Amino acid sequence: MSETNDIHRGLQGVFFDRSDVTFIDGKKGVLLYRGYSIDDLAEKSTFEEICYLLIEGKLPNQNELDAYKSLLAEKRSIPDELVELIKEMKSLHPMDVLQTSISYLGSIENDNLTSVSNIKKLSADIIAKTPTIVACHKRFRENQEYIHPKKELTHAENFLYMMSGTKPSPDEAQLIDKDFILHAEHSSNASSFTARVVAGTGASLYASITAAIAALSGPAHGGAAENVMTMALEIEKPENAKNYVKEKRKDKEPIMGFGHRVYRTEDPRAKHLKQGVKDLSEKFNESQWLQILEAVEIEMEPYKRLGVAANVDFYAGVIYYLLDIPHEFFVPIFAIGRIPGWIISVIEQYTNNILIRPLLDYNGPEQIKYIPIDQR
């Protein structure tokens, strides 16, 4: 009814709070976690360090890191009842199974305290168990036995081991570890905002993370890596890329893995996975997928000036594919990496909590007189 209110659809450009966790400069392609460049963290750190950094606010020393890694390793196992529940859900989509499983863990935790100290205590449980849930479902989905986690392996090593039954090579584990780091946090994206909205109501950490997983399951947020691999399979050969891109752009259809809501230049995370694709392609003698992606990049070069460049998921999907991970598990891998980012979003929200309640500008009819049903 009002014509004077400014509308910011999608809340684009709206600052709803302050945060000291993640800095993004979309024009320059800069991403910082707690002040540290993603370039340094991706090449020099580990996912366990990043979890500690995001949640505790500082990089750990060696003793702190050793203690934290031991804590995560101790908490990897999931209850037998949850294993059976996952087995019952083996035919469902992995994101639905992950949602249900995290919600189940919250129900048996029976601890809805929302103090920061309590959230930090519970955070290790969710970080540690999420890879186990995903891997357990993958095994049952393929009619294989559940593989119990190994405490002596790193977070990334253990995940790949539980998925395949074989201990990964150091370079494979390092690449997945890097993938987790690059996906760990990204300010107020759709799923992190969802976690904050739910936490704003005073709901539990598990409820907030369950809601965040639901938000990530949408194709506009978490589905890019899967869509890129689908695109590469559709293109089949590098020489087909030119016509593929031409036809898509003619029909005003997006090219998967290009463009980002925040970045107006290349996503600073993308280059760190590109080298991984090169290394795996050589290792498995499957260079065609890298060649296809490079051919697509060449065809998309003119669009860089419009702010449409490769994002982090452009290369992620091929990495998962070369590691023999089914397409439907690409988004759950994203979720494994993003768990610490969701947790710190919840912690920040609880620290100075307020109900997040934006307004809608009503543009429907004026008040209408009610007509009894027998007169309609």
The pLDDT assigned to 319 comes to 94
Q: Just give the CATH number of 19-219+328-351.
A: 1.10.580.10
The pLDDT assigned to 163 comes to 98
Q: Does 211 score more than 80 pLDDT?
A: yes
| 113 band by pLDDT with thresholds 50, 70 and 90 | low
| 249-253-258-264 Cα dihedral, nearest 10 degrees | 80
The pLDDT assigned to 143 comes to 97
Q: Does 1 score more than 60 pLDDT?
A: no
Q: Does 350 score more than 80 pLDDT?
A: yes
| 110 band by pLDDT with thresholds 50, 70 and 90 | low
The pLDDT assigned to 38 comes to 97
> Could you tell me where the beta strands, DSSP code E, fall in the chain?
22-25, 30-33, 36-37
User: What CA–CA distances, in Å, run from 61 to 44, 156, 248, 281, 344?
Assistant: 14, 20, 50, 35, 20
Q: Does 4 score more than 90 pLDDT?
A: no
Read off φ and ψ for residue 147, nearest 5 degrees. -105, 125
Q: Which regions of the chain carry the CATH code 1.10.230.10?
A: 224-322
| 152 band by pLDDT with thresholds 50, 70 and 90 | very high
State the Cα–Cα distance between residues 324 and 280, nearest whole angstrom.
12
Q: Which regions of the chain carry the CATH code 1.10.580.10?
A: 19-219+328-351
State the Cα–Cα distance between residues 177 and 159, nearest whole angstrom.
10
Neighbouring CB atoms inside 10 A of 40's CB total 11
CA-based nearest residue to 332, from 183, 194, 232: 183
Q: Where are the alpha helices (DSSP H) in 150-264?
A: 155-164, 170-183, 190-200, 205-216, 224-235, 241-250
How high is the mean pLDDT of the chain? 94
The pLDDT assigned to 13 comes to 86
Residues 215-274: tens digit of each pLDDT: 999 888 888 888 899 999 999 999 999 999 999 999 989 899 898 888 888 889 999 999
Say which CATH superfamily domain 224-322 falls into: Cytochrome P450-Terp, domain 2 (1.10.230.10)
Show the tokens assigned to 35. 């002040």
Show the tokens assigned to 257. 């893995």
Q: Which positions are catalytic?
A: 260, 313
Q: Does 2 score more than 60 pLDDT?
A: no
